[in-house]
Chain A
Amino acid sequence: MVGTGALSRRRLLAGMLLAPPALAGCSLGSSTKDTAPDPLIALADAARADAALVAAVVTATPALAARLTPLRAARTDHAAALDAEVARLAPSATATPTPARAAPAAAATQAAVQASVLASGKAAAAAALSLPAERVGLVASVAACCATYAAVLA
């Protein structure tokens, strides 16, 4: 499996290198597709929001730090990877990540984190069903990771 993944990634890189610079900014889709926002932007924003919520919960309840810090790291890494994938398809677009939505003031609890990461996992799983092959692996991994944190924190 490792060999296959490495090969397809190399092939993808080769394809990008071969693409004329003029085409680099164009997406493969039609003009109508260009108007729709990249679905990965919302997933990256959700990852940032989860990380921010975890930070708020840990600040409120330091005893949860050991339990929740790995989740914060994972969601931060998810956001970075999703941002990179968004930028890969739209290199000319200015990267303006939406500020993480403010953590709900009344509910900085482990239960809130669990609900949030569960919803994030479901959103990623739904998006994964219709993404093209070269993008779906990342989103599927994000979905599986989020669902597992939600199961463990429940």
Chain B
Amino acid sequence: MSSPGTSSTIDPTAAAALQDALGAEHAALWVYSLILAFLPAEQLDRARADEQAHRVLRGAVEQTLTQIGTRPVSAQPAYATPKPVTDGASAAAVAVVAETDALAAWRSVVERTSDRGLRQAALTALTEGTLRCAQWRAVVNTPPAIPTFPGRP
């Protein structure tokens, strides 16, 4: 997002995909703020680093949308988790869900823009998110830890 190219080539389709990605980033940030209270101490540094990565992404998307004259979607006050978060295992599981949703959103941005800079930025987000997702999949022991087709619906 740091170099989205000429903003005029980010068309409404790409902007809508970016809004979806922003929604996924909002949700991921909410999830990390929730699970920090449940994760074991040795996973807190990773969770905080991941949360920070999502915060940077969120800021970049909001800035890009604003630059092209689109109002960024707001975060919802709360999000529904597929299963209740009650302990370390369920906390890591919901991190997997949040990261998986974000991967789908970023792959969709890749597919829905022809702007080279935006496509590169979205591919970077997809790639970096795949590592985060893999680390939480390893925690919850979901093989293969690294998804074979990250972001595929």
Contacts and interface: CB of A to CB of B under 8 A. Distances in A.
Contacts of A149: 146
B69 interface: no
A129 interface: yes
A149 B148 CA distance: 10
Interface stretch (A32-40, A48-56, A99-107, A135-143): A135-143
Interface size on B, as a range, is: 20 to 34
B146 to A, nearest CB: 5
Q: Is the interface of A mostly helix, strand, loop or mixed?
A: helix
B26 to A, nearest CB: 14
Interface residues of A, number: 35
Nearest to B112: A133
Q: Is the interface of B mostly helix, strand, loop or mixed?
A: helix
B107 A137 contact: yes
A128 interface: yes
A88 to B, nearest CB: 16
B126 A1 contact: no
**Most B Cβ at <10 Å: residue of A5, A77, A130:** A5
A6 interface: yes
Interface of B: 20, 24, 101, 103-105, 107-108, 110-112, 114, 116, 119-120, 122-123, 126-127, 129-131, 134, 143-153
Given A1-B108, A145-B148, 9 more contacts: A1-B20, A74-B148, A81-B149, A137-B110, A144-B103, A144-B129, A144-B130, A144-B151, A151-B131
22 contacts: A1-B101, A5-B104, A70-B146, A71-B146, A74-B144, A74-B148, A77-B148, A77-B149, A128-B110, A137-B107, A137-B151, A138-B149, A140-B122, A141-B126, A141-B151, A144-B123, A144-B130, A144-B150, A145-B130, A145-B146, A148-B146, A151-B131
